[in-house]
Amino acid sequence: MERKFITKKSIIFIIVLLTLALGLIFLMPEILGEKVEIWVDGELYDTFALSDSFSLSLDNGVVITGDGETAYFEKSDCPDKVCIKAGKLSLSGEWAACLPNKTVLKITGRNGEADTVN
């Protein structure tokens, strides 16, 4: 009697597993949602889910706030306050920067509606 290493049941099981794995890979950004990335001096300082409420005070005098739907520069000691005037960010691909304090606030994720061509 000859033993088979791969049976029909094994092949079906492998196909089902691969289908589930591929489905999770494509759905993972949808499940995780958009993120708020805070970069200070060119390095990733912290990451939050856009759906979380948070307030982060940095050592450079910048306060970044998230209200569960948007993220924004609340306070900055820079002279022009361009970062604060950028407003509230809510769409993937949007970003604002406080250049004197070397701080960037960026929304990342797959569900963006922001225009990439200005």
pLDDT for position 15: 93
Residue 34: pLDDT above 70? Answer: yes
Domains in the chain, number: 1
In a domain, 1, yes or no: no
pLDDT for position 21: 86
pLDDT in tens, 93-105: 899 999 999 999 9
In a domain, 55, yes or no: yes
Boundaries of domain holding 55: 33-108
The dihedral through the CA atoms of 50, 73, 103, 46 has a sign that is negative
**CATH number of the domain that residue 49 is part of:** 2.60.320.10
pLDDT for position 56: 94
What's the mean pLDDT when you consider all of the chain? 85
Beta pairing class for 103-108 and 35-40:
antiparallel
